[in-house]
Every structure is written in structure tokens, then in C-alpha cells.
Amino acid sequence: MTASGEWNSRTLHFVGIGGAGMSGWATVAAELGANVSGSDAAESAVLESLRERGLTVYGGHLAAQLPDGESVEVVRSTAIPDDNPELVAARERGFRVMERAELLSELTALRRTIAVAGAHGKTTTTSMVAQILIDCGFDPGYLIGGELRSTGRNAAWGSGEWLVVEADESDRSMLSLNVEVAVVTNIELDHHATYGSLAELREVFRSFLEGPDQAVLPNRSDLLELRGDRAVSPFSVESLELLPGGSRFEWRGQQVKLSVPGAHNAANAVAALEAALLAGVPAPDAATAVASFAGAGRRFERLGQSRTGALIIDDYAHHPTEVAATIAAARTLQPERLVAVFQPHLYSRTERLAGDFGRALSGADLICVLDVYKARERAEDFPGVDGRLIAAAAADSGAGREVLWLPDFDSAREQLNRLLRAGDVCLILGAGDVRTLGEDLAVEPSS
């Protein structure tokens, strides 16, 4: 039973079902027996994939798309405004309207749950934990903010006792989860609309770490103290050797070779290994399993080659720390030239962190900055804020590197098709819709 009854007697309608998290939760709800439908702002490959799984989904939002019945429950994405016509109609008809975190809380109450939190690395670390448990025969459920490449899915319920999920600090929703093992990859202030200071954010993480029986934390005193005197598995990367496209390190007496690049991914892997150990996976088996990890969607994902032979790689990096880490990871591929194409995400983040973004991007040889992906924000609320702030900061930090301001995809596509050449690695960076630009550029499979 759940708070709302047996799953097979429930009708759930997801508004914003095309999102990375929402599509997964809808998939799992359907696997549990619920009658599931949903809508998103526009048609997409995600909607088509959900239709192939038997879900009724719509491109566009209309009140008429709400299911019939008296006990319909509507799940809303955080990106959906209050005046969405489906939400308005749902309230008028007396339907229960719940935030996505409420549903995730229900799901985590049904299984022993490993929840991964942190400013950076959540999706990759969650994917690694899921991959290890799958390879070691645990058949876990998982809910990930990106596609697990080995399964081609971002969610499944499985038949095992464990559920692996991402825990979102952006709206404090991670505090509502039922967690047995908490993993924190790092803590850094990112969501400025929610948190006024790093101290406030740390207190939310302290609250998150109060409940779980076990916790995995970086081996840093300022983070370990958030757990107090409760059980904790501190992690750090030992004997790290960065390789082209991967790394090698030691963990609990095991030699681990990783097939995704960058020191940041080695740290993610050690966190995932510690979590898997707490779930009952023997250390040698966990080390073998993580070596086969092929990555997660939109995390250093090779899209193919440009018509001139440049390698196009897509990554979700949308914070200066993530941008710098992704550029450093790309350097391990030893390109003749590293090109960074960055789409800023949110005006508020751009306004606060433009200088940091400029310094992070200066690690590339050629820097291209697009205009801001506004997401839930409005341009008129941030006068004078656009991608040129970051382009200027990158030029100031770039020590003579070429910086291009390419405000729209058409100009970016034209310029990049002219500039890219064989031997280049071109990073497509951002949390918005910039992947479509990368897909346009990648006209050939990568070699």
C-alpha cells in the first residue's frame, strides 16, 4: 500500500513528463501498475519513447488532456507554472496535485534506498551505483536524471530489494525521501534562488544526513562533521592515474580501471563503490563491475564527428566547477585543439557566476558562448544579463584565446561548421537545449 492506495488502482497524470526525472518516475509508476498519462511542452524523442512503452502522452498542454475519473492524481514538474491549463483544470475538478518530490518519497518508502546528493556528479554516481548492482545480480530499481547507457533507460523498478535515486537539493526535496544509504558527492552553492548562503545549504545537507543508517562522504573534515558521530564511509581517490579517455586508481586493495575520463569521474566511482559495498556487493565484484561503466546520457557523451572530422562530445555541465572538470577530462583525449561551446543556464546563475564561468572556459583553446537558456526565468527580470557577460569574462581570462559570441543556434552552426577541423574535440556544454546543436554538428559516427 501507499499513502494513496494500491498502485494498480491509481491514475497518475504527469505535467512535464518529458523531463529527465519525470519521465523515469512515470515509467516506474506504470511498471507498478498505475494508469499513467502525461504531457510536455512539445513533442520530443522522450515522449515517443514513453508511447512505445504504452503510456498516453501529449505534446502541448491542454485541459482536455486530463484523464477522466474522480480520483486522478496530477504530478507536476518544478518547471511547470501555476497557470498551466492542466494544473488549473485539475484544481477546479478537485484532483490531488502533488509535487514530484511527493511521489519520489512514496517510491523510496517501498524499497531500501540509496540516495545520491551533491552539487555535481549526482547523475553519474547514481548511474554507477545502479550499474554495479545490475552487473552483480541485485536487479535494483533506479531513477536517474539521465539515460544509463548500458540499459538505454533512465528508470526501472527491478525485482531486487534496493532502489537507487538522485536526491535533489535544488528545492530541498531530498529531505522528504526515505533513505537507508546517503551518498554526498560534494557541496557547493549553485541554486541561488533557493539558498542565500553556503551555510544555509550546509544545514540542509546536515538535515539530509540525520536520517540514513549509513552515509558515504568525501574524506574532508568540513563535510564529515555534517554527519556527526553516526556511521560514515569516507572516500577519496588513491593512486590516481589519468589515462586518455579514462583513469586507473586503487580502492580497498583493488586495482580499478575506469572507462570514463577525468579525475572527477574517478571520485564519483569511488563514492559509488562505497555505496555498493554498503548494499552488500563484495569489493572485487564491485571493482570489476564499475570498470564496465560506459557512462550516462548527456555526461561526456560522444555524439559523433563533424563533417570535417572533429569529435563532438555533449555534456550537461552548467556550473563553473563542472565546466572546468569536463574541459580537464577532455584534455586527457589529447586533442590538437579543444573547442568549448557553452550555453549558460538561467539568468540568475549567469549574473552571479559570469566571472567563474569565464575562468573555467579559459581552459579551452577556442571558446564559443551562446545566449542564456532561460528555463523558468524571465529575461525582463534580469536587465543587462545575457551570455555576453560570460563571453567577456572568458576573454579576460583566456590569455589571448579566441572567444566567439554566438547568440543563436543558426549562427553557431554556421561558424562551427566553418571552424572545426580534424583533430579537434568540441565540447557542447549546458543544461538547456544545446544538445540539439551538437546533434546537428555530429553528422558522422565517431571513430
> pLDDT tens for residues 270-329?
999 999 999 999 999 999 999 999 999 899 999 999 999 999 999 999 999 999 999 999
Active-site hit among 166, 180, 301, 322: 166
> Both 122 and 255 in a single domain?
yes
What average pLDDT does range 321-343 have in this prediction?
A: 97
Cα four-point dihedral sign 384, 389, 392, 397:
positive
123 is catalytic: yes
CA distance 22 to 55: 13
What pLDDT does 191 receive?
82
| pLDDT at position 242 | 97
At 55, the pLDDT band (50, 70, 90 cuts) reads very high
Residue 384 near residue 348, CB atoms below 8 Å: no
Q: Does residue 176 have a pLDDT over 80? A: yes
Query: Packing angle between helix 320-331 and helix 347-361, nearest 10 degrees?
Result: 30
Residue 174 domain-assigned? yes
User: Exposed, middle or buried by CB within 10 Å (0-12, 13-18, 19+), for 147?
Assistant: buried
Question: Quick one: average pLDDT of 79-84?
Answer: 93
Residues 255 and 316 reside in one and the same domain: no
C-alpha cell at 111: 524499497
The domain boundary, picked from 43, 77, 98, lies at: 98
Q: Examine the pLDDT at 57 and tell me if it is beyond 50.
A: yes
High-pLDDT (> 70) share of the chain, %: 99
Per-position b or e across 247-261, b if 16+ CB within 10 A of its CB: bebebeebebebebb
Q: Which of 93, 41, 51 is nearest to 68 (CA)?
A: 93
Our CA angle for 171, 84, 14, nearest 5°, is 65
116 and 265 fall within a common domain: yes
Residue 446, pLDDT score: 75
Residue 96's contacts (CB-CB under 8 Å, 6 or more residues apart) are 4, 72, 73, 74
Residue of 11, 113, 123, 185 with catalytic role: 123
Of the three residues 75, 98, 121, the one that is the final residue of a domain is 98
287 and 308 housed in the same domain: no
What band does 3 get if pLDDT is binned at 50, 70 and 90?
Answer: very low
Question: Does residue 287 share a domain with residue 184?
Answer: yes
185 & 241 share domain: yes
User: Which segment of 63-67, 214-218, 298-302 scores lowest on mean pLDDT?
Assistant: 298-302
> Do 330 and 277 lie in a common domain?
no
For residue 4, name the pLDDT band (cuts at 50, 70, 90). Answer: very low
C-alpha separations of 413 from 341, 362, 436 in Å: 11, 21, 10
Q: Would you say residue 427 lies in a domain?
A: yes
Q: What cell was used for 94?
A: 478537485
Handedness of CA 61, 67, 70, 75 (dihedral sign): negative
Q: How many CA atoms lie within 13 A of 109 on its CB side?
A: 11
Q: Is residue 126 among the annotated active site residues?
A: no
pLDDT (mean) for 416-428: 98
**Residue 105 within a domain:** no
Distances (CA, A) of 264 to 146, 240, 246: 18, 11, 11
Q: 72: burial class by Cβ within 10 Å (0-12, 13-18, 19+)?
A: buried
Same domain, 184 and 217: yes
CA angle 322, 328, 332 (to 5 degrees): 140
Instruction: Give the model's pLDDT for residue 72.
Output: 97
Q: Do 237 and 356 belong to one domain?
A: no
Name every residue whose Cβ is closer than 8 Å to that of residue 203 and which is 6 or more positions away in sequence.
Answer: none
Of residues 298 and 139, the one with the higher pLDDT is 139
Q: Do 140 and 89 lie in a common domain? A: no
User: Please, are residues 235 and 121 in contact by the beta-carbon 8 Å criterion?
Assistant: no
Give dist(CA 299, CA 207) in Å, integer.
29
Does position 18 have pLDDT exceeding 60, yes or no? Answer: yes
Q: Is there a domain that residue 224 lies in?
A: yes
Q: Are residues 20 and 88 in the same domain?
A: yes
| Enclosing domain of residue 90 | 7-98
- pLDDT tens digits, 230-270: 999 999 999 999 999 999 999 999 999 999 999 999 999 99
Beta pairing class for 246-251 and 254-258: antiparallel
pLDDT band for position 151 (cuts 50, 70, 90) = very high
Contact 44, 60 (CB under 8 A): no
Average pLDDT on 162-167 reads: 98
Selecting among 11, 86, 113, 122, the annotated active-site residue is: 122
Whether 166 sits among the annotated catalytic residues: the reply is: yes
Per-residue model confidence (pLDDT) at position 1? 36
* CA distance to 55, 269, 306, per residue, from 365 (Å): 45, 29, 18
Residue 292 Ramachandran class (φ > 0 left, ψ -120 to 50 alpha, else beta): alpha
Going by C-beta distance under 8 Å and a sequence separation of 6 or more, which residues neighbour residue 28? Answer: 107, 141, 143, 155, 156, 157
Residue 399: predicted pLDDT: 78
**Radius of gyration for the alpha carbons in the chain, expressed in angstroms and rounded:** 22
Count of domains observed in the chain:
3
Answer whether 383's CB lies under 8 Å from 348's CB: no
